[in-house]
Structure 1
Amino acid sequence: MTLTQNAPAPLTPADPTADQAVLIVHGRDRTGLVAAISAVLGKHEANIVSLDQHSDNPHGGAFFQRTVFSKAGLEAALPQIEHDLRVQLSEGFDLEYNLRALSVPKRVAIFASKADHCLLDLLWRHRRGELPINVAMVISNHADTAAEVRSFGIPFFHVPSSGPDKSAAEAQHLTLLAGNVDFIVLARYMQILSGEFIERVGVPIINIHHSFLPAFIGAGPYAKAKQRGVKLVGATAHYVTEDLDEGPIIEQDVVRVNHAHTVTELQRRGADVERAVLSRAVLWHAEDRVIRHGNHTIVFQ
């Protein structure tokens, strides 16, 4: 009888982002930008993993670039790389830039109301490791989802908000959020944020809504859509501005429907699209794939 040794367990692959950083650059297009950026990274013996760029007009238009690079001992090297980029890009080319280590996930607060499909989908994807984020908290104006959120190990805060005056609720929101988050996601949060809150919170806010706006505004949009015999239902994820539902769009999608679908079926299909669109928008923002430019976005997928 021949005994064979068990094969050694496969090595667990190291975190691919451990020594990687992402560099976002945007400003006026001109000759030599890509070479200048590459020269700084080359000086530090950094290896470019991926590079995406876009110019809306090569003759003095707007330039956008996303670069992911790898550098051994990144944490120690990052301050000097940042200094050299500032000298080269800010002073030499008048470009704006942002440099961030990919191993440090962005912190997010999720706002929700009674509808839980987008909220729980984000928490599920986060638990599975599909979203490189740190969910700092969930804030809701209803307590319905408290137990489910806490089952994910996420802090849940119930902040009631009703009536035209939202100042007390928003003051509590600001206290909870201060210094704790890098962006906010409105996962079907059915409250309007004031311009003062948006300004004071100081971080990007992503919202999701059905794509019937503004054709079917107000309560019961799917019932109104059914009455009109729509053939498509969809969803839009966008950044929040003071102009309600008019901020820069990050992602959109649709699914076909027909006359046989009930209002309930339209709602179900719409919820499916909302989950998918919002999760992609959150992923792309978390990976610094979205650059805001005026009231639209450049998205490097």
Structure 2
Amino acid sequence: MFQYTKNGNFLTENQRKFYEDNGFLVIPKLVDNHLLENCRSKFAEVCNKGPSSMDMMVMKELSLKHQNFKGEYLVNKIQNLMNDEVFFACGSYKPLVDVVESIIGPSITCCQSMLINKPPGAEPKSSQHAMHQDYYYFPFGPVNSIVTVWAAIDSSNVENGCLFVLPGTHKNNLLPHKNGKGTKNVGYYEIVNYNKVNLCHLIMEQGDTVFLHPLLAHGSGANLTKNFRKAISCFYIDSNSYLIDFKGTQQEDLEKVMFKAYNKQHSHLKNYLDSWRLSSRLIRGSPGVYQQCLSQL
């Protein structure tokens, strides 16, 4: 009956069926506001004082780079959060990880984490993230052993660039992507062709959390307001997942682009997989095949 979720006590049958049918599930007020406010404060601290761990990457909104913006008015993302205990408290928050376990199973590694900030004033085409599938970025599988988690720090709506999804597209294969047009930011790939007929905007309040299948087509709009739109996003994988070689696939170009971007801040990285070693942390259960393949974890 269920293909995309696991048996467990943390999701109702209706919630499981919704995720199975649509490829996403929003759970209102799942993450404690206190944890999210701590993340907000830590983000501002990192923007003003620099990374709190050697692994952390600070990325700037390039459409604002030459306009004298500073701090959180310039930084649009920080990545590799899980070695900072403030962010780890959110990424390992039990009610959140319980739902993750109900989707991918009890052996859980956070393979990537980021706090995404849409500052006011960015160019709309640069601020948005066009329709894409997260699985395009992941050099591991199987695909049903991965889930993206996105928790709203600020209220998220159409005006400030909320997520939008195409329900049911997780039942497709990986679609052709291309480097996104109109954005100056690195790594913003988009699906070549898609039908917008069933497009659904996810209006969310602080603490609301959405779980996304990695093949679900989704994106986010531009922030057209004078305020920020922040969210924390973590990608969780079954620790017994295996690695995939991008050589000869449509992601071979992405691998080169992303490695070059990571290598600018972390010159010791030898290849794309090194960036995943840098960003991963075991969350629940015992180390698995994933940890053995990425031996530095």
What TM-score, normalized by structure 1, do the two folds share? 0.23
Which of 1 and 2 has greater Rg?
A: 1
Relative contact order higher in (CA < 8 Å, ≥ 6 apart): 2
What TM-score, normalized by structure 2, do the two folds share? 0.23
